[in-house]
């Protein structure tokens, strides 16, 4: 048998094996050179990237046609809707009725600011169901005159209202008693400062490292200095200018934010309707901050506690700020929540008071943003451009990084960021939504409702979603209807904007996300941190990058068509099939990324960022089919040695192979395809 015959016979055998998908031919090394049995990989050096590249030859490529490619995940075949409730007066349509000087706007049915807090009636029935505490109004057409209520503002007297839910009321006041009894000196100081300073100036420190730049740009000032609240006797008023000056560099932004504080936004009509006393009038065990004793009102009949005016104004300031600067969206709304709790710590308000302030102000701002005649896009651009110029950054994401990078550890500095820790912000925000007050069982478990126009509150935070999709985000992140104030007919009391800023809470329908890298901002790159449930499918379209960081369980499957879809948690892709037909699928979680169903790749690049020999690898519960596309491996905080073998993919069964395999930092490698996975031996740097 001559050498030529042996060569031809060997080549024929290899060709047959290649046709069966069992061996890759060509490229400079064969199975015996690689030390593999039944599979091989070729190696080539890429000097520019210092990464080895392993390519399947033409015979392997043609064999891909024999691989059975499964169908894409079917999902539910429909999208979820979040229509506004029907037959309900929408706040965004009727917000102008939030008045206390018109006899035609004094009842639940005729005053939007009162109606949005209707859930308070589950706790308390005021002595009269009118905006009439200290209010006398002449008749207006067919609307009868209003005579001032006889309510004295003193709990327990003959003019008082009626406690409907004794357990909830007791828990509400007990919270204040415990909070004021156990507050620290630092909490007392913070409570004093938030009471005395203008609210817009106070909450602007939610800008963190950019606070001084923001205050300079808006021209914000305050005359309140820190005092020892334990020894100070007189409560000093702020001589500053709250939101700033309309003639400052960011004067247009000042006007924009102030549009949420117009007369229509006042909490006074609701105060004078619900007639619920402040906590220190309910109980002598409530300890008001000593420096604020002189600030107590001497006219209790016009000094109701519900809703909290300070809290409402903080939210009316913060939500427009977050609209203009979504890079600090969650930090800013966390600051508004802090303002609310500081009102409790001051002894001036109860949890229900500050919850009411938040709920009403959220509706007011949505109303204002929907009706404003100001150019929202131009004002947004003004703020972004100004802050980029002042920070020396050139784009949205660079400014985002600057806005979240601490510049000082000095807690007394104006630029110290109290809201730098995401987990702490989330925990505090979630607790402050309800203050863990008792659930009203009769109201619990109702279907989620999203108020008309509420989606505008997420317009700049989730710009790549449609208005309808943003409504579904609000719907899937709402709190339960059983919590206090969470059963208003529209759903304002159930909104959880912190969670909504982290994307969907569930895929109860199929979700298609189109992101555009060229558009910049969050349209180019965003992260969803919620734990996403549901039976729907996620389809990632467009050139931008979407990162999934939650512990996800959605079961409808995932399809990647374009751009980047990244796994920052081991269960990022839920429990269904994962189908990749383009783009980049990045696995960067600190563990093996789990695919609950099958994995299919027909094109694109599977990018594994490994932090150990297994962390960052792909673990497929079902079968894996590789009918095209590439594999790129890189490392983070981990450098494997030459001679190491990485198991980069495991599956119930594997068919096919990647067109190219590269490993950053290594010039030669051996790729082995087994019946259940892919291994890479690192042969040389």
Q: Where do the DSSP E strands lie in 439-577?
A: 511-515, 525-528, 538-542, 545-548, 558-560, 564-567
What's residue 52's pLDDT?
Answer: 52
CA distances from 65 to 54, 354, 598 (A): 20, 64, 19
What's residue 19's pLDDT?
Answer: 42
pLDDT of residue 43 exceeding 50: no
Question: CA geometry: angle at 430 spanning 428 and 436, to 5°?
Answer: 95
pLDDT of residue 431 exceeding 70: yes
Phi, psi of 338 (to 5 degrees): -65, -40
Q: Is the dihedral of CA 87, 91, 96, 98 positive or negative?
A: positive
Contact (Cβ atoms closer than 8 angstroms) between residue 468 and residue 82: yes
3-class DSSP state for residue 654? Answer: strand
DSSP code of 465?
Answer: S
Q: Is the dihedral of CA 368, 371, 372, 377 positive or negative?
A: positive
What's residue 47's pLDDT?
Answer: 34
Give burial (CB, 10 Å; 0-12/13-18/19+) of 391: middle
Please give the full DSSP string across 572-620, using - where no structure is assigned. Answer: TTTTS-EEEEEEEEEE--SSPEEESS-EEEEEEEEEEEESSSSTT-EEE
Contact (Cβ atoms closer than 8 angstroms) between residue 360 and residue 266: no
CA distances from 287 to 17, 192, 275, 300, 503 (A): 84, 13, 22, 18, 40
Residues 75-116 have pLDDT tens digits of 999 999 999 999 999 999 999 999 999 999 999 999 999 999
pLDDT of residue 364 exceeding 50: yes
Place of tokens 């913070």: 190
Q: Which of 201, 412, 450, 208 is nearest to 330 (CA)?
A: 208
What's residue 21's pLDDT?
Answer: 44
What's residue 53's pLDDT?
Answer: 45
Domain ranges of the chain: 92-476
CA distance 681 to 677: 13
| CATH architecture entry for 92-476 | Up-down Bundle (1.20)
The distance of Cα 625 from the centroid of its chain, to the nearest Å, equals: 35
3-class DSSP state for residue 297? Answer: coil
Residues 241-300 have pLDDT tens digits of 999 999 999 999 999 999 766 557 899 999 999 999 999 999 999 999 999 999 999 999
3-class DSSP state for residue 462? Answer: coil
Report residue 33's pLDDT band, with 50, 70 and 90 as the boundaries: very low
CA distance 63 to 680: 22
CA distances from 269 to 199, 303, 485, 620 (A): 20, 12, 17, 59
pLDDT of residue 404 exceeding 90: yes
pLDDT of residue 393 exceeding 60: yes
3-class DSSP state for residue 322? Answer: helix
DSSP code of 152?
Answer: -
pLDDT of residue 208 exceeding 60: yes
- How confident is the model over 299-303, as a mean pLDDT? 95
Proportion of the chain above pLDDT 70, given as a percent: 90
Report residue 613's pLDDT band, with 50, 70 and 90 as the boundaries: confident
Q: Could you tell me the pTM of the whole model?
A: 0.90
Residues 492-528 have pLDDT tens digits of 999 999 999 999 999 999 999 999 999 999 999 999 9
CA distance 337 to 320: 15
Give kind and range of the element (H or E) at residue 514.
Answer: strand 511-515
Burial of 407-418, coded b for 16+ CB within 10 Å and e otherwise, reads: eeeeeeeebbbb
Quick one: how many helices (H) and strands (E) in the chain?
21, 20
CA distance 464 to 526: 10
What's residue 219's pLDDT?
Answer: 97
3-class DSSP state for residue 195? Answer: helix
Q: Which of 289, 291, 411 is nearest to 347 (CA)?
A: 289
CA distance 618 to 541: 22
Q: Give me the chain's average pLDDT, please.
A: 90
pLDDT of residue 239 exceeding 70: yes
- How confident is the model over 357-367, as a mean pLDDT? 97
pLDDT of residue 25 exceeding 90: no
Residues 322-355 have pLDDT tens digits of 999 999 999 999 999 999 999 999 999 999 999 9
Residue 445 region by backbone torsions, left for phi larger than 0, else alpha for psi between -120 and 50, else beta: left
CA distance 453 to 467: 9
Report residue 229's pLDDT band, with 50, 70 and 90 as the boundaries: confident
């Amino acid at each position: 048998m001559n050498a030529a015959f042996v060569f031809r016979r060997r080549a024929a055998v290899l060709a047959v094996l290649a046709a069966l998908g069992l061996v890759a031919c060509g490229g400079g090394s064969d199975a015996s050179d690689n030390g593999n049995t039944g599979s091989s990989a070729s190696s080539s050096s890429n000097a520019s990237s210092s990464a080895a590249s392993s390519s399947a030859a033409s015979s392997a490529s043609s064999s891909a046609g024999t691989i059975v490619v499964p169908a894409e995940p079917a999902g539910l075949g429909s999208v979820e809707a979040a229509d506004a409730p029907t037959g309900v007066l929408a706040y965004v349509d009727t917000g102008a009725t939030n008045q206390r000087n018109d006899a035609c706007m004094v009842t639940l049915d005729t005053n939007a600011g009162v109606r949005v807090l209707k859930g308070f009636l589950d706790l308390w029935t005021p002595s009269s169901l009118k905006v009439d505490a200290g209010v006398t109004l002449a008749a207006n057409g067919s609307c009868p005159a209003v005579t001032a209520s006889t309510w004295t503002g003193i709990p327990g007297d003959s003019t008082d209202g009626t406690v409907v839910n004794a357990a909830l009321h007791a828990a509400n006041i007990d919270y204040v008693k415990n909070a004021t009894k156990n507050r620290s000196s630092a909490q007392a100081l913070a409570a004093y400062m938030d009471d005395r300073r203008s609210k817009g100036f106070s909450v602007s420190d939610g800008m963190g490292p950019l606070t001084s730049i923001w205050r300079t740009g808006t021209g914000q000032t305050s005359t309140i200095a820190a005092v020892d609240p334990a020894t100070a006797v007189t409560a000093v008023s702020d001589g500053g200018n709250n939101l700033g000056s309309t003639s400052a560099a960011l004067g247009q932004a000042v006007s924009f934010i102030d549009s949420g504080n117009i007369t229509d936004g006042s909490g006074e009509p609701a105060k004078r309707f619900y007639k619920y006393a402040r906590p220190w009038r309910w109980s002598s065990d409530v300890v008001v901050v000593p420096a604020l004793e002189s600030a107590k009102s001497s006219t209790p009949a016009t000094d109701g506690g519900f809703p909290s005016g300070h809290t409402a104004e903080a939210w009316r300031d913060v939500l427009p700020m977050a609209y203009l600067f979504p890079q600090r969206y969650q930090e800013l709304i966390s600051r508004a929540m802090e303002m609310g709790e500081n009102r409790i710590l001051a002894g001036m308000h109860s949890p229900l008071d500050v919850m009411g302030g938040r709920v009403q102000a959220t509706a007011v701002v949505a109303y204002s943003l929907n009706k404003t005649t100001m150019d929202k896009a131009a004002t947004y651009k003004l703020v972004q451009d100004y802050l980029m110029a002042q920070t020396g950054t050139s784009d949205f994401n660079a400014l985002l990084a600057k806005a979240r990078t601490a510049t000082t550890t000095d807690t007394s500095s104006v630029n110290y960021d109290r809201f730098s820790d995401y987990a702490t912000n989330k925990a505090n925000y979630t607790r402050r939504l309800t203050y863990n007050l008792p659930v009203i069982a009769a109201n619990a478990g109702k279907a989620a409702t999203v108020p008309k126009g509420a989606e505008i509150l997420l317009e700049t935070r989730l710009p790549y979603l449609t208005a309808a999709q943003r409504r579904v985000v609000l719907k899937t992140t709402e709190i339960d209807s059983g919590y206090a104030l969470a059963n208003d007919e529209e759903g304002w009391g159930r909104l959880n904007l912190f969670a909504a800023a982290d994307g969907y809470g569930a895929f109860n329908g199929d979700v298609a996300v189109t992101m555009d890298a060229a558009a910049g901002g969050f349209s180019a790159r965003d992260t969803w941190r919620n734990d996403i449930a549901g039976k729907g499918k996620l389809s990632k379209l467009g050139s931008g990058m979407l990162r999934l960081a939650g512990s996800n369980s959605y079961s409808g499957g995932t399809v990647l068509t374009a751009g980047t879809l990244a796994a920052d948690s081991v269960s990022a892709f839920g429990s269904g099939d994962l189908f990749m037909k383009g783009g980049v699928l990045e696995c960067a979680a600190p563990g093996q990324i789990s695919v609950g169903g099958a994995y299919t790749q027909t094109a694109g690049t599977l990018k594994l960022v490994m932090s150990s020999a297994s962390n960052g690898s792909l673990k497929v519960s079902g079968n894996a089919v590789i009918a095209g596309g590439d594999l790129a491996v890189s490392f983070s905080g981990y450098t494997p040695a030459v001679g190491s073998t990485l198991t980069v993919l495991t599956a119930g069964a594997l068919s096919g192979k990647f067109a190219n395999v590269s490993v950053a930092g290594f010039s030669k490698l051996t790729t082995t395809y087994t019946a259940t996975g892919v291994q890479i031996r690192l042969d040389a740097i």
